[in-house]
Structure 1
Amino acid sequence: MRPPQSVRDLTMGLRFAVTGGREGWVRLLLTALGVGLGVALLLLTTALPHALEVRHDREQSRSDFTYDYKPVAPADDTLVIADVDTTYRGKDVRGRVVMPEGERAPLPPGVAAFPAAGDMVVSPALKELLDSPGGALLRDRLPYRITGTITESGLIGSRELAYYAGSDALADRVNPPYVARITRFGTPNPTKESTDPVLLLLVLVVFVVLLMPVAVFIAAAVRFGGERRDRRLAALRLVGSDSRMTRRIAAGEALAGALLGLVFGTGFFLLGRQVAGSVEVLGVSVFPSYLDPTPALAALVAVAVPAAAVLVTLLALRGVVIEPLGVMRTARPSRRRLWWRLLLPLAGLAMLYPMIGQGHDGGGFNEYLVVGGVMLLLIGVTALLPWVVESVVGRLGPGGVAWQLAVRRLQLSSGTAARMVNGIAVAVAGAIALQMLFAGVQGDYTKTTGYDLTRAQMRVSVPTGTSVDRATAKVRATAGVGRAVGLADGYAGDTRRDPEHGTEVTLGSCAALREVAVLPSCHDGDSFALLGSPGDTDTPKLVRAGRTVYLDPSYQGEARNLEIALTVPHGVRQARTRHDLTGTERAGLLLTPGALPANAAPAFQGVVYVVLDRTVTDAAEHVRNTAAAMDPLASVDTFAATESSKKFTSIRTGLFVGAACVLALIGASLLVSQLEQLRERRKLLSSLVAFGTRRRTLSLSVLWQTAIPIALGLLLASVVGVTLGAVLLRMSAATVRVDWASVLAMTGIGAGVVLAVTLLSLPPLLRLMRPEGLRTE
């Protein structure tokens, strides 16, 4: 059975694309390269859901935290495990110390056998770091012998720093959740958290904003070689094809480039997947096996890209009259109409308007309306930009030779110039809107910690059995420590067991106690009563001279505590509270070492607050090493002025990673598009040079041809981006505030990418100006 005429026309176009000689092959390869870059990023996007799911599953499968405070008796299937996470030069290091208590103790995922006491198994990235000169300080902190490697099943990323160290002295230090006795790894009863509407909105907008530039670039790539294609189509009309047949043949040529682009894109994706296993972007890394595209989404890409190539070509030729003696596009075209171009952003606003004021307590967002509205607004940029460029360049006045060459070229092909910058305009508009949304809702997901970073930047827990004074002296002697303050915290109740009333007890030297209270005068042996807020009724009852209280009282269901009796000294004086080193106001009993009974020291947990000397390199790392030398299980905290929600931070990190990929695509695609434009004008450039035009003038004209459309595109992107950002903020019930610094930063990044592409295209431009460019085949 003979195929339909439309299929035969498309097939003929495919043959023309692959049998068009050297010129045809260059055109086909440029189209395939542009499409392939977009396809690779689309495939990467389709693989993201699987990658996130695998990372989540790996994290859940190795979970060892327990919040069940009921004691677990040692048995043949129990494991004592301690959390010893640390940080090294801004990178998180996941650490666990383990002690199996029987032959059936659960093995951590990715570990073949338990390390013996003094040994450890490490992730490949951590081994690489420890073996490098840059890991010397961390090597001092982990005095274990490396005897094995954690395999992929026990890690969430290829560059994750993690280790399991063996110990034989954890049984007496069980203190959930930091040191726990467990019988299995993994979350036993995982619960699905409810999705925050605003975070869901952020995720949806991030995906749309990152994917829209990719779609725009693919649509532009299939139209490479437009002017030469028009001449070929006129020749087809000369030999007898009608206008419909000619357009279908042109669509077949675009289809060939799209199909080859799918092959290139698959190759780029497979290559990028392997590279992804060895790099880390903003602290996020993956294994190549994570990047496995969802079959349904990959199939959608395979079908959508060729279909889009055919549709874009047919739509582009819809208003073009192709005759045997030429293409009517070379005549003065009719002015572009504005009314229908405004319908797209207005329709987008209409879709988003019903959701204004929702989010948090206002309800959820309709996912389809969000995606559709944001897409229409961003597509509106691509529809409005050609009209803006045409309107502006048609009114530009005379100037130098380079300016006139650039302006005349833009007046003749404003659509081509707009297509080149459409993608970056869409990316900048989306980025501005997202920056406004992130800045507007950040306050809901970021809270102030209350830490005064001028008084302390780190906190070191003092090991059990070590006096606070001795620990403070060690920390104070550490390189990079400007000041150290040691305090010990305890708790006292009115009875030995199940006390009805209780209060805090703080132990420290006079200098240390002055960090938490305003003291009248102080000498060793003194004690002070520190009354809390008016609602604190327990402290006045307990902190009375001669009153007996009990340190470390026991509660029902807990193991027996120390229950040490303490008589409040008769010379106790009242002090006035002040914000302590963590920003809180304390209450209770303040004691100097001389006022504490000898047997009461174990009831206190010591803490050393550290002020760093910022002029010393790696000051914080030296403090962590000192703490680890005192006790491998010592906890070290670094203070920060603010603390952000983990989900909010992960979404923002995902945006930055995705934006880095999209910017790389933008730069590569712009470069390919620029080279294709220069290749089409090779004969014209060579003719101008032959008539005496200076190369510098031609180079400057090319720069103007790029700078004028990109300036107009960035201006339009700023308007649309600010509008979209304001609507998204109103949808989230947040205050509408334009973050002008972000707007300028996004437009600056977009302009920087274009400038870099222009500079990279100058060497090929100079080669194209040679006399050989006049030769015609």
Structure 2
Amino acid sequence: MNAGTGHRPRERNRAWGTSRDLAMGVRFAFAGGREGWFRAAMTAVGVGLGVALLLLTTAIPNALAVRHERDVARADYTYVFGHPLKAGEKTFVIADIDTPYRGDDIRGRMVQREGAKAPVPPGLTTYPAPGEMAVSPALKRLLGSPDGALLRARLPYRITATIAESGLTGSQELAYYAGSADLADHIHPPDVARIDHFGSPRSPDAESDPVLMLLVLVVFVVLLMPVAVFVAAAVRFGGERRDRRLAALRLVGADGRMVRRIAAGEAMAGALLGLVLGGGFFLIGRQLMGSVEAFGISVFPSYLNPSPALALLVAILVPAAAVLVTMFTLRGVVIEPLGVVRTAKPARRRLWWRLLLPVAGLAALYPMVGQGRNGGGFNQYLVTGGVLLLLVGITALLPWVVERVVGRLGQGAVAWQLAVRRLQLSSGTAARMVNGIAVAVAGAIALQMVFAGVEADYTKPTGNDLNRAQMSVQVPDGVPVSKVARAMTATKGVRKVVSIADGEAGDRAEDPQRTATVSVGDCASLREIAALPSCHDGDAFVVKGSDSDSETTKLLTAGEKHGRTLYLDPAYSGDDDGPASRWTVPAKLKQAQTREDPTGYKRGGFLLTPGALPAGASTAVRGVVYLSIDSAVPDVHEHVINTAVRIDPLMLAGTLTARELNSKFASIRTGLLVGAAAVLALIGASLLVGQLEQLRERKKLLSVLVAFGTRRRTLSLSVLWQTAIPIGLGLLLAGVVGLALGSVLLKMVGSTVRVDWLGVLAMTGFGAAVVLAVTLLSLPPLLRLMRPDGLRTE
């Protein structure tokens, strides 16, 4: 019985001793004088930066969800899902008048309230009156600035209200609602429609794309992994000075285990202080992110609320990681009463277990090779584990690579020899400094390969011929296309105008059995859509060669029995307004061969010059104007859009593009760019903190070298070499691992493995640029440390 219970006091004493040693380490961190405070502060800043980014990252899902909810709540395209509405107590008319301005998209809506119970747009308390508008705060600032002069001419409304946060998806969104008195007279879905509520109806969730889900998963892993690496590195700031202080504890009777626990407590104190600073950095970053826009994305600070569970997980893991990392790093350090055995030649690092990590990562990903998007969803646990193991493998392999390479470096200039000798003595510290940048670059290279490899699957050609036209203008009903063409011809920067008005001709005025397209334009414009034998005003042509036109010949054949009379704008139901215009087909109808228009469309049917169009039939056709512009003219696009809006506010003018990118794919890529920018900022800040800490560790050494006559230029170059050599090796290793990971991911999605060497060099160059910027920023402190008075000591 005594033997059985005798272990309990011993276990309690051991637990009490461990807690006491950890508490002593915490006390040393805050009561150890300037040295202890400085180390704790350096650790706290490094950890705090990582914690802030982790909290911001955990808040991203909530921010995206809120943005989506706001966008759905204000949706105004619900008329697509139902029958046309009659005017009533709850109806209102709304028109989509979105417009671009100098590369930014402006969400515009024109509204007319019809009933007293019509819902108010989200973010507003009342409808704007005719001639007035409600604007977002960002648009209000833009209109009030000198840069908004051309936009003010496009929006000639008086600002009477500001759209509240509930009606916007981001703090920097440009949006407005303009009032109208006669919008109901121009209803033409989908551009102008009558609806009775805002918000999108619930619809079955579309089947998710496995490739896009894989990209999202890999993006999160790649962005978070460098943050974790930096947090682990931050708790080791000032390690050499700390270990020398711990040697003094051996003189007063502490054993090896005790000093390691004290060191862990000191690291935990810095980590806990880092949690506090990280919370402060997060709140500051949260507010700053509410006032900036990156790649067209902005949020309100209220969106960035991290999940409580994830925030609690960060608060637990960071101090725990500080203790574990410290205990792990001290396993090979012998702390004796008379010093720290660190400068002796260390045991050579072994390679075999370091290779196990990337091999295990490849093994986890291999079962999904060739699965593609038709094989169902990718196993998210295998994907996460495989990518993590490959990236962690960099942190394990890099110290071995640096040790082997610098061990073989030899003679050179004095600066080179100083740098090489320093790296040979502390290659692990040098590798630890660049682990984060290497992991980030490897992940960026892999993702860049995947995005480049699958982009073709999410990009479709528009068919637009940008050599013939660069802009198009959709002319609304009731506006003569000839008026628009004349105005555009007089617009600054417009070189050529092609105007076509399209309509429909049928064999009956109501419910026709056969129909054909009718296109109206002057001879120069008609030659852009067909090859004409000769053309004069008053001519009419029948078009041959269109694969989509099979009714024109039948119409002409049937027309011979009915006097060759066709009806322009025939009615298909009793709801259609206005009678159809009669058109008698000329006896001598010329023939024309179809040709692709600037958008790649081949027309069939009939071509009419303005003189051949029956009187009063101008409302039966709807026009489009294609423009060739001089891109060298400043703001030529804005001048064209201003001309269009001046003629009719509902007129839509847009820029033609050669290719169209899938919106979800573009959003994921934008998210990667935003996240990568934040991670690079963290990498730069953490590298700078680590560099300053390393310089401070070598303060006396630098002072001794200066006192013996070493030139400052030589010392500055040595510091540069100490950074450049491990960075070069890290980037080289990152390139190899990144190419391997990218190739495997491309094989998984079923795409051909192609290496975009320009993209690989760009990713590597970004990493090198961050390091170069950090090195330049560390030169002023270095010059201050290189003074003989640094030899003074107490």
TM-score bracket relative to the smaller structure: over 0.9
Any conservation in 1 of the 2:542–2:606 contact (CA below 8 Å)?
A: yes
Stretches of structure 2 lacking an aligned partner (at least 5 in a row): 1-11
- The equivalent position to 1:751 in structure 2, one of 765, 768, 773, is 768
Aligned to 2:727: 710
Aligned to 1:528: 541
TM-score by length of 2: 0.96
User: Aligned ranges for residues 397-416 of structure 1 at < 5 Å?
Assistant: 397-416=410-429
Cα distance in structure 2, aligned partners of 1:633 and 1:299:
52
Cα distance in structure 1, aligned partners of 2:578 and 2:16:
88
Cα distance in structure 2, aligned partners of 1:345 and 1:475:
62
1:722 aligns with 2:745: no
Q: CA deviation at 1:476?
A: 0.8
Aligned to 1:362: 375
Cα distance in structure 2, aligned partners of 1:202 and 1:95:
32
What letter is aligned with 1:620?
H
- The equivalent position to 2:589 in structure 1, one of 554, 567, 572, is 572
1:29 aligns with 2:41: yes
Any conservation in 2 of the 1:569–1:595 contact (CA below 8 Å)?
A: no
Any conservation in 2 of the 1:35–1:222 contact (CA below 8 Å)?
A: yes
Deviations 1:128-161 (A, max 9, x none): 0001111010000001000010010000000101
- The equivalent position to 2:491 in structure 1, one of 478, 497, 510, is 478
What letter is aligned with 2:695?
L
Aligned to 2:478: 465
1:266 aligns with 2:279: yes
Aligned to 1:502: 515
Any conservation in 2 of the 1:390–1:411 contact (CA below 8 Å)?
A: yes
What letter is aligned with 1:255?
M
What letter is aligned with 1:466?
V
Deviations 1:396-442 (A, max 9, x none): 01111111100000000000000000000000000000100000000
Aligned to 1:50: 62
Deviations 1:503-543 (A, max 9, x none): 21111111000000111111111111112445642222124
1:438 aligns with 2:455: no
User: Aligned ranges for residues 156-555 of structure 1 at < 5 Å?
Assistant: 156-534=169-547, 536-543=549-556, 547-555=564-572
Cα distance in structure 2, aligned partners of 1:436 and 1:717:
14
Cα distance in structure 1, aligned partners of 2:270 and 2:201:
52
Any conservation in 2 of the 1:98–1:166 contact (CA below 8 Å)?
A: yes
Residues 504-513 or 237-246, more deviating: 237-246
- The equivalent position to 2:639 in structure 1, one of 622, 646, 664, is 622
Any conservation in 2 of the 1:486–1:606 contact (CA below 8 Å)?
A: yes
- The equivalent position to 1:7 in structure 2, one of 11, 19, 32, is 19
What letter is aligned with 2:622?
Q
Cα distance in structure 1, aligned partners of 2:510 and 2:338:
103
Deviations 1:64-97 (A, max 9, x none): 1121462211111111111110000010000111
Cα distance in structure 1, aligned partners of 2:128 and 2:712:
69
Aligned to 2:8: none
- The equivalent position to 2:759 in structure 1, one of 742, 749, 765, is 742
Aligned to 1:17: 29
What secondary structure does 2:80 align onto?
coil
Deviations 1:436-474 (A, max 9, x none): 000000001111111011111111122433322221000
Deviations 1:671-690 (A, max 9, x none): 00000000010011101111
1:657 aligns with 2:674: yes
What letter is aligned with 1:537?
S
Cα distance in structure 2, aligned partners of 1:558 and 1:193:
34
Deviations 1:282-313 (A, max 9, x none): 11111110111111111111111111111111
- RMSD of the alignment, in Å? 1.4
Aligned to 1:699: 716
What letter is aligned with 1:63?
A
Cα distance in structure 2, aligned partners of 1:737 and 1:769:
49
Q: CA deviation at 1:226?
A: 1.2
1:60 aligns with 2:72: yes
Q: CA deviation at 1:557?
A: 7.6
Cα distance in structure 1, aligned partners of 2:574 and 2:60:
46
Deviations 1:638-682 (A, max 9, x none): 101110011011111111111111111011000000000000100
Cα distance in structure 1, aligned partners of 2:297 and 2:456:
24
Aligned to 2:4: none
Q: CA deviation at 1:558?
A: 5.0
Q: CA deviation at 1:562?
A: 4.2
Q: CA deviation at 1:696?
A: 0.8
What secondary structure does 1:598 align onto?
coil
What letter is aligned with 1:371?
T
Judged with a 3 Å threshold, the aligned counterparts in structure 2 of structure 1 residues 697 and 195 are, in CA distance, closer, same or farther, namely same
What secondary structure does 2:582 align onto?
strand
Deviations 1:691-717 (A, max 9, x none): 111111111100000000000000000
Stretches of structure 1 lacking an aligned partner (at least 5 in a row): none
Q: CA deviation at 1:100?
A: 0.5
Deviations 1:357-383 (A, max 9, x none): 123223210111111111111111111
What secondary structure does 1:555 align onto?
coil
Deviations 1:747-775 (A, max 9, x none): 11111111110010000001111122112
Any conservation in 1 of the 2:236–2:326 contact (CA below 8 Å)?
A: yes
Cα distance in structure 1, aligned partners of 2:556 and 2:393:
71
TM-score by length of 1: 0.98
What secondary structure does 2:345 align onto?
coil
Any conservation in 1 of the 2:548–2:604 contact (CA below 8 Å)?
A: no
1:123 aligns with 2:121: no
Q: CA deviation at 1:496?
A: 3.0
Q: CA deviation at 1:561?
A: 5.8
Any conservation in 1 of the 2:473–2:652 contact (CA below 8 Å)?
A: yes
Cα distance in structure 2, aligned partners of 1:471 and 1:69:
34
Cα distance in structure 2, aligned partners of 1:129 and 1:231:
59
Deviations 1:200-245 (A, max 9, x none): 0110111111111100000000001111112122222222222222
Judged with a 3 Å threshold, the aligned counterparts in structure 2 of structure 1 residues 341 and 517 are, in CA distance, closer, same or farther, namely same
1:39 aligns with 2:51: yes
Cα distance in structure 2, aligned partners of 1:210 and 1:310:
24
What secondary structure does 1:120 align onto?
strand
Q: CA deviation at 1:560?
A: 4.4
What letter is aligned with 2:30?
V
Judged with a 3 Å threshold, the aligned counterparts in structure 2 of structure 1 residues 568 and 69 are, in CA distance, closer, same or farther, namely farther
Q: CA deviation at 1:324?
A: 2.0
Judged with a 3 Å threshold, the aligned counterparts in structure 2 of structure 1 residues 543 and 655 are, in CA distance, closer, same or farther, namely farther
What letter is aligned with 1:529?
V
What secondary structure does 2:657 align onto?
coil
Any conservation in 2 of the 1:524–1:594 contact (CA below 8 Å)?
A: yes
Percent of aligned positions that are identical: 69
Deviations 1:717-743 (A, max 9, x none): 000001111111111101100010011
Cα distance in structure 2, aligned partners of 1:584 and 1:99:
35
Cα distance in structure 1, aligned partners of 2:248 and 2:209:
60
